[in-house]
Amino acid sequence: MATAAFGQPPADPAYEPLNGAYEALRARSYDSAISLFQKAIELAPGRAAIRKDLAYTYLKVGENELAREQFRSAMEIDPADSQVAMEFAFLAYETKQQAEARRVFDRIRKLGGPSAITAEQAFQNIDAPLAAGIERWKSAIAMGGDNFSANFELATLAEQRDELPLAAEHFEKAWRLLPDRRSVLVDLGRVWMAMNRTEDGTAALLAASRGGEPRAAEMARELLPDRYPFVPEFRAALTLDPGNVELRRELAYLLLRMDRQPAAEEQFRILVEEAPDDLLAATQLGFLLYARGEHDAAQPLFDRVLAGSDDDLANRVRAVLRLPQLLHARTEPQPAATDAKVMAERSMQAGYMKDTLKYLQIAHEADPGDFGVMLKLGWAFNILHDDRQAMRWFDLSRRSPDPQLAAEATKAWRGLHDDREMFRTTVWLYPIYSTRWHDFFSYGQVKTELLKNRWVQPYASIRFIGDTRVTIGGTSPESLSESSFILAGGLRTAPWRGVTGWFEAGSAMSYITGHMLPDYRGGFSGQWQKIPESSGWFGDTSADALYISRFNQDSLLYSQSRAGYAASRHLQLYWNGNFTVDAKGQYWANFVETGPGVRASSALLPKSMWFSVNLLRGAYLTNEGNPRRPNFTDVRVGVWYAFTSR
C-alpha cells in the first residue's frame, strides 16, 4: 500500500483551471475560458500546450496580437513544434511584424518536414518583394535620389529582410539629412541593438528619449534599460547628437549632483553658447560663477535672464542680487486649475496618450453625459490598442443627439466591429418584370463569409434564379432564368481598387425537373461609384468577367453603368449604358443597350430598398442564329433589397 501510495505521479497543479477552461470553451464562454487558461499558465508556466489553447481562444475573440504572443511563448518553450511556429509566423505577418515572420518561415523551410513547403512559399511571398524593393531604392539613390525618403525606405526594407548593416547605414543617413525626425533615431538604435552594438544603440535611444518628438521619446524609453543612464552613456549620446539641448542640460545637472562641478560647468557653457534662449542654463551657470566670486563673468548671464520672459527665473536672480521682486509674475496656469478636457487635448497633441486617457476619464466623471468626451475616450483606447474598451465608448457615443458626432462614432464602432467579427452574412433580393420577355423574374442570394483571413475569404452561398413562366425554364441562358437553387462554396479576395476575384463550385438544383447539375463559376467583379449624400450628380459602374461551366463552358464580360442627378436622398434620375459580350460569340450574350431610368425609395422603407423603372433600347452585336429582331425595346420594373447580418 505504501509503495502504491508513494508511487503515484504528482497531481497536475493546473488540472482544475484547465478543466474549467475547456468546459467554458464548449459553452462558448470565451472570456471565462481565457481567464482560466491564464490561471493554468501561472500554475504550469512551462507547458506549451496550455499557451497554444489560450492562443486559439484569443483567435476566436479576434485578439490576434494576444494570440501571437502566446504562440511566441509556446514556440520558445517547444522550438520543435513546427505547427506552433507556423501559427506564430502567420500572425506576426498579419500584425505587421514582417521581419519576425520571415525569420520563422526561413527556419521552418530549412528544417524540412510537412510544413516546409508552406513555409517556403510564405517565405518567398515576404522575401521576394523585400529584395526587389531594396534593389529599387538602391538604384534610385545611385541615380541621384539620395534624399531622406529614399534612405529611410531602403533602411526599412533592409531591416525587415535582416540586412542589418545596410539598414543601420541608411537609417543613420536619413537621420543626418533630417535630424528633427527623432523616430528615425529610434529605428537606428533598435537596429544597432540587434547588431550587438549595444553602446551605439543605447546612445541613439538615449538621444531620442530626450527632446524632440514626444512619441519618439516614449518609444525610445521603452527600448532603453530599466535604469537611469550612466555619464559615459550621456557623453556617447551627445557625440552622436551634439545639438540635443535637453540631453546636455540633463547631463550637466547629473554632474552637479555628483559634485563634479567643473565638468557640469563645461556643459552649461556649451548650452549658453549654442542655445542662447536656454535661460535655465544661463541662470545655473551664472549662479556657479557668482558663488565662486566671478561676479563680472556672471552679470551678463544674469542680465540675459532678467531681460527674458521667465519671471520665475528672473525673481531667483533678483533674490541673489538683492533686487526687488516682481509682484505680478507671468506664470502659466497649473494643470490642477485647468479644465480636464483642455489638458486631454494638449496631451493628445503632444502624443502622451496615457495622460490623455487619464484626463478624459476625469472629464467623464465630472460630466457623465458629455458624448464628445465618450467619443474621445474611444479614440484614445483605440490608439492604445485596447479595442474592446474603444468599442464600448464608441457604442455609447453613437447614441449622442448630435447627428455629426453620432455618425462619426457609428462609423468607428462599425469599423472595429467588422474587424473583430468572424462571420458575416449578406442577403439580397431583386424581383423584376420585363416587357421584352413578358415575364416576372426573381434573383436572390444568401451568403455567409468566414472573415479570419485578411486577403481571402471562404464562403458558402445559396442563390435563387427563377421566373413565373416556368414553361420556359431550362438550361438556355437567353431565357434569363435557370429555374434553380444553386448551392455553392467558394473563395473571394479582398477588394483591391474596387476589383474582387472569386471562384465557387456547387450544384444547381432545378425546382421544375428536380435534376442536379454541377455548377462551376469564377471571375472578377468590379464596382466604382460616386454617390452624393443627399443631392447632386452621381455615377456608378459595375463590371464582371466570369466563367460559367453550365453555359457550355462560356466566358462572359458585362458592364452596367449609370450617370445622372440625385434630386434627394430618395430619388435618382439617370441614363443607362450597358453591354454584354462572350467568348463564343453567341447572339444572346452580345448586345448593348441604353436609355433613361429612375430609382426611388422612401423614409418609411428600409434604407437599402429601392424601386426602379428603366426604359431601354438595345441592339444585338451578332445576329447569327438570332430568331428575334436585331433591335429591341425593354421596360424593366424592379425592386432591390439587401442587408447584412452581423
Q: What is the pLDDT of residue 421?
A: 63
Strand ranges (E), 340-455: 423-434, 439-450
Fold of 337-420: 1.25.40
Indicate if the pLDDT at residue 332 is higher than 60.
no
Rounded distance, CA 611 to CA 430, Å?
10
Gap between the terminal Cα atoms of the chain: 60
Q: Name which of 611, 614, 226, 225 is nearest 434 in CA terms.
A: 614
Query: Angle, to 10 degrees, between the axis of helix 182-194 and the axis of helix 198-209?
Result: 160
Name the maximum alpha-carbon separation found in the chain: 115
Cα angle 333, 335, 340; round to 5: 120
How far is it, in rounded angstroms, from Cα 189 to Cα 176? 14
pLDDT band at 481 (very low <50, low <70, confident <90, very high): low
Amino acid, single-letter form, for residue 343: M
Q: Which residues of 314-335 are buried (b: 16+ CB within 10 A; e: fewer)?
A: bbbbbeeeeeeeeeeeeeeeee
Q: What is the pLDDT of residues 108-152, one digit of tens each?
A: 888 887 888 888 888 888 889 889 999 988 888 888 777 888 899
Question: Range with the lowest mean pLDDT among 10-14, 42-46, 236-240, 259-263?
Answer: 10-14
User: What pLDDT shows up at residue 1?
Assistant: 47
Let me know if domain 174-321 sits in CATH 1.20.1250.20: no
> For the chain, what's the residue count?
646
Least confident range from 178-192, 241-255, 314-328: namely 314-328
Q: How confident is the model at residue 587 (pLDDT cuts 50, 70, 90)?
A: confident
What pLDDT was estimated at residue 475? 39
Q: What is the mean pLDDT of residues 536-557?
A: 86
- Average pLDDT of the residues in 82-88: 88
Mean of the pLDDT values across residues 468-481? 48
Give the residue, 543 or 423, on which the prediction is more confident: 543
Confidence (pLDDT) at 454: 65
Rounded Cα distance, 258 and 264, in Å:
9
Q: Hey, what's the cell of 567? A: 434630386
pLDDT above 90 for 307: no
Q: What is the band of 200 on the pLDDT scale with cuts at 50, 70, 90?
A: very high
**Quick one: which of 584, 588, 524 has its CA closest to 559?**
524
All structural domains of the chain with their residue ranges? 174-321, 337-420, 423-645
* C-alpha cell recorded at residue 358: 487619464
Helix (H, G, I), strand (E, B) or coil at 428: strand
Kindly indicate the confidence band of residue 472, based on its pLDDT and cuts at 50, 70 and 90.
very low
Interval 227-242 mean pLDDT:
89
- Rounded CA separation 441/464 (Å): 10
- The CA distance from 368 to 352, in Å, is 23
Residues 84, 53 contacting (CB under 8 angstroms)? no
User: How much of the chain, in percent, has pLDDT values that exceed 70?
Assistant: 89
CA geometry: angle at 106 spanning 105 and 112, to 5°?
Answer: 90
φ and ψ of 324, to 5 deg: -60, 145
Same fold, 337-420 and 423-645: no
Please give the pLDDT value at position 369: 65
The DSSP call for residue 503 is E
- Residue-wise pLDDT tens digits, 271-287: 888 888 888 888 888 88
Identify the architecture of domain 423-645 in CATH. Answer: Beta Barrel (2.40)
pLDDT given for residue 545 in this prediction: 92
Q: Cell 468546459 sits at which residue?
A: 23
Q: What is the mean pLDDT of the chain?
A: 83
Check residue 554 and give its pLDDT: 86
The full DSSP string for 197-224 is -HHHHHHHHHHHHSSS-HHHHHHHHHHS
- Is it the case that residue 641 has pLDDT exceeding 50? yes
- Per-residue pLDDT at 350 exceeds 70: no
595, β-bridge pairs: 576
Q: How far apart are CA 432 and CA 426, in angstroms?
A: 20
- What is the rounded CA–CA span in Å between residue 154 and residue 177? 14
Q: Stretch 101-108: mean pLDDT, rounded?
A: 88
Helix (H), strand (E) at residue 528: strand 516-530
The arithmetic mean of pLDDT across residues 156-168, rounded, is: 90
- 76-99 average pLDDT score: 87
pLDDT tier for residue 351 given thresholds of 50, 70 and 90: low
CA distance 580 to 593: 9
Interatomic CA distance for residues 20 and 526, integer angstroms: 49
Q: What percent of the chain has pLDDT over 90?
A: 21
**pLDDT, tens digit, 9 for 90 and up, residues 373-420:** 888 888 888 877 777 788 888 888 887 777 788 888 888 877 776 655
Q: At residue 175, what is the residue type? A: W
With 70 as the cut, is the pLDDT of residue 8 above it?
Answer: no
Which residues neighbour 469 within 8 Å (Cβ) at sequence distance 6 or greater?
A: 438, 439
Give 525-538 pLDDT, tens digit per residue: 988 777 665 678 88
The band of 471, judged by pLDDT with boundaries at 50, 70 and 90, is very low
pLDDT of 529: 78
DSSP H or E stretch at residue 193: helix 182-194
**All 3 cell numbers of residue 218?**
516614449
